[in-house]
Structure 1
Amino acid sequence: MTAGITERVLPAFHARLREELTFPLAWERYPGDFPAWRAEARAVARESLLQPAGPGTEPFDPVTVDEHAEGPYTARTVEFALSRYGRARGSLLVPHGAGPFPAVLVLHDHGGEFTIGREKAVRPRSGLPERGRRALAWADRHYGGRFAGDELAARGYVVLAVDTLGWGDRGPLAYEDQQALAANLLQLGTSLAGLTAHEDIRAAAFLASLPEVDSHRVAALGFSMGGYRAWQLSALSDDVRAAAAVCWMTCLRHMLVPGDNTLRGQSAYFMLHPGLNRHLDIPDVASTAAPKPALFQAGGADRLFPPAGVTAAYRKLRAVWESQGAGDRLTTEIWPGVGHTFGRGMQDSAYDWLDRWVAGEGRADRPHGRVPGR
């Protein structure tokens, strides 16, 4: 689709609807103190997930399907109850040694490639050679030839990667199937984005529960759709103590413009919570994670997230973290000339950031100093 989608599909009053979004729960409009704002904003965000009351307390009942040593860590395939509706398999990398170790939940991207999911984050090691070939090609195209999970495990982190519904072992979807899947879930009183968020919350809880993991040092990392899921998870889950989000942050008005991917539908449904935008802008939701350590990286030449929207979002994020005396815990980067990719330079910067804020001296379980009263 091209910029003509606005004329072909959207109503003439689309721009007026967009401008009428005032985000009444945004931090800069909220008259109360920060804890009260965060509690109310998080409650609104959680309600928008459209999940049944009481999910998330089921036992994980994990089973190790296979494992083998891989250099400085052991690679396992694990199966566990991802929700009350079913079980899923994950790739789990555990460093050798006594532990407990810091940990990272690596959330895979979208990219329209559904045959692989967790294999985008962790190098596939056995079976299904076609998936292996696709994973290697995907790593070359978007990750500088690296697998983020394996890089982090070699640095001493426990790593978990799980297929999202529709990918890998839980798919594969065809691109045009996304809208039908989303529509059917809405008919059933839930949403695709909400189910995905709930499963990410469960995956983080599972990771934090492992005996090899220091539950006070669990982070989320993701690129593209995985970046969205990383900051969203930090906002929604107390199990996640820090998040590194790559190539997914903007303000809503900067995103709802002709030519943007969001207007196509399809992939947007994995990140579209019904009614949430009536209350909060995108960086408002992300800001409910404050004062947790947070890293946001963007490419200066990313056509999906142009610099104007990124800069506006960063400004809103900065105001919240600094209001809590935690400005040093927020790192925002725009990489000149970089497109929609998570190359080696950005990765090295992100891994160093994780070493500082999750594994090292500035780690997330340490107090960050006085929080100003409001």
Structure 2
Amino acid sequence: MGARDPAVGRRAFVAGTGAALLTGAAATTDARAAAVDGQAAVVDGPLPDFHPALKAELTFPLAWGKSPIRDFRAWRRAARAKVEELLVVGPQDRTPYAPEFTDRRRQDGYTGELVTLSLTRHERVRAALLTPDGPGPFPAVLLLHDHGAKFDIGKEKLVRPWYDDTRLASAQGWSERYFSGRFVGDELARRGYVVLCADALGWGDRGPLAYDQQQALASNFYNLGSSLAGLMAREDARAAGFLAGLDRVDRGRVAAVGFSMGAFRAWQAAALSDDLAAAAAVCWMTGLKEMMVPGNNTLRGQSSYYMLHPGLPRFLDFPDVASIAAPRPMLFFDGGLDLLFPADGVRAAHDRLRSVWRSRHAEERLHLKSWPDLGHVFVDRMQDEVFSWLDTVL
């Protein structure tokens, strides 16, 4: 047997282009192929050349319908337990919330105040809390802000900051860009909903983080035996429990609502918390395999770490996790022009969700819609439909 060519199997990543340059000997043409007869091959995006083989291994065996568990309630318990295990962050924190209320101000049809509370044993978090006029108890919305690579504001993206004039201009600009000039939280409060909106780690009072610091922050969490995405998931589930437990809230009528990363957070929180009766997710749902394609934003790392639970795709896809909330009412909107989520990924996810709710004889509780003329936004007409849907299901 002759000596092996040292070039065979060698991999080189091209700096600045995000492309992986592959050199090597002959390879098969199936998903495991890495090179062709010594010719260079290029894979767009910072993906390993063998990524098709890794994709092929993702069969999501714990998904409802694939799992050997045939009782849906038992499946929900098993699937939730697997997600919670892979959050890496320890078991649900039982630290007393110990809320402190400040900066109360009467608004048009509601009252705003800030509440500082312990979502974990590690840190006190400040949130905006809006309460409608009237005797209550009221339905409520856990409002979850987006990512947007904009960290100076978090809760202020969705609630007008009466408490901080320095953030107002930034918040208004964000509102104009994505929400038709509206503050979604204020709109909900005027419609009779208690609203709670807190900063995720890195935004607003808990930041601002620089874009290129995200990856290091996530890495440091992993080195500390924890997880950035797992922390956010735990905090959102705890926030749902706090909101549902307020005397002013009808605890059976609490929903999560979010846009973009906030949408991811909304369906994730519904999967992890029984305190949420419904969830509305605008512009974040896809199949993982369909999203992991050259050019997609998720391949850049950085912001994706807020939504990355290592090992979870070995068991469940995104729509499978969201399905843990079935058969509760759920709304998923996407923009037909949204470049972050390929159309085939949205279709695959919607088909998966539909099959689960149908299996529960609850397809009427699932509201799926694509807005063909819209991109990655949550504009007024989308908001109005979400508000009407909330009025119906809550």
Q: TM-score scaled to structure 1, two decimals?
A: 0.93
- 2:31 matched residue in structure 1: none
CA displacement 1:72-111 (0-9 Å, x = unmatched):
1000011111211011100000011111000001000000
Q: Is the 8 A contact 1:3 1:258 kept in 2?
A: no
Q: 203-212 or 25-34: which moved more?
A: 25-34
In structure 1, the residue corresponding to 2:129 is in which secondary structure? strand
Contact persistence 1:3–1:259 (CA under 8 A) = no
Question: Partners of 2:145 and 2:44 in 1: how far apart?
Answer: 33
User: Whole-Å Cα distance in 1 between the matches of residues 47 and 89 of structure 2?
Assistant: 29
Partner amino acid, structure 1, of 2:74: A
1:229 to 253, 265, 268: 265
* Cα distance in 2 for residues equivalent to 1:202 and 1:335: 32
Residues 4, 258 of structure 1: 8 Å contact kept: no
Q: Is the 8 A contact 1:230 1:244 kept in 2?
A: yes
Unaligned runs of 5+ in 2: 1-15, 21-42
Question: Which residue among 59, 79, 86 is the counterpart of 1:41?
Answer: 79
Moved more, 141-150 or 303-312: 303-312
Alignment partner of 1:256 out of 283, 292, 295: 292
Find the partner of 1:243 among 240, 264, 279.
279
Task: Please list, as runs of the form range in 1=range in 2, the aligned pairs for 1:20-31 lying within 5 A after superposition.
Answer: 20-31=57-68
Distance in 2 between the 1:281 and 1:88 partners?
31
Report the Cα distance in structure 1 between the residues aligned to 2:106 and 2:193, rounded to whole angstroms: 15
Correspondence for 2:89: 51
Aligned to 1:333: 369
Aligned partners of 2:165, 2:213: CA distance in 1, in Å? 23
- Are positions 1:106 and 2:154 aligned together? no
RMSD between superposed Cα atoms in Å = 1.2
Conserved? CA contact 1:2–1:259, under 8 Å? no
The structure with the largest alpha-carbon Rg is 2
Question: Structure 1 stretches (4+) deviating beyond 6 angstroms?
Answer: none
Q: Higher relative contact order at CA 8 Å, sep ≥6: structure 1 or structure 2?
A: 1
Q: 2:101 maps to what in 1? A: 64
Specify the SS of the correspondent of 1:259.
Answer: coil
* Deviation of the 1:16 alpha carbon: 1.3
In structure 1, runs of 5+ residues without a counterpart are 359-374
Q: 3-state DSSP class of the match of 2:54?
A: helix
CA distance in 2: counterparts of 1:2 and 1:291, whole angstroms = 44
What is the DSSP-based 3-state SS (H/G/I as helix, E as strand, rest coil) of the residue aligned with 2:388?
A: helix
| Contact preservation (8 Å) 2:46, 2:300 | no
Shift of the alpha carbon at 1:306? 2.2
Which amino acid is the alignment partner of residue 43 of structure 1?
A
CA distance in 1, matches of 2:78, 2:45: 38
Query: Distance in 1 between the 2:71 and 2:268 partners?
Result: 22
Report the CA distance between 1:37 and its aligned residue.
1.4
1:3–1:310 CA distance, 2 compared to 1 (3 A)? farther
Q: Distance in 2 between matches of 1:118 and 1:124?
A: 8
* CA deviation vs aligned residue, 1:51-83 (integer Å, no higher than 9, x gap): 224x42111111112101001100001111121
Counterparts of 1:59-208 in structure 2, within 5 Å, are: 59-129=96-166, 131-208=167-244
Which deviates the most, 339-348 or 34-43?
34-43
| Correspondence for 2:29 | none
- State whether residues 45 and 294 of structure 2, in contact with CA within 8 Å, keep that contact through their aligned partners in structure 1: no
Structure 1 residues 2 and 67: CA distance shift in structure 2, 3 A: farther
Aligned partner letter, 2:73: P
Note the C-alpha offset of 1:128: 4.1
What letter corresponds to residue 291 of structure 2 in structure 1? M
- Give 1:15 deviation, angstroms: 1.9
Deviations 1:156-191 (A, max 9, x none): 000000000000000000000000100000011111
Kindly indicate whether the alpha-carbon contact (under 8 Å) linking 1:105 and 1:221 is maintained by their aligned counterparts in 2.
yes
Q: Distance in 2 between matches of 1:218 and 1:116?
A: 25
Offset at 1:7? 4.6
CA contact (8 A) 2:152 2:203 kept: yes
Letter in 2 for 1:238: D
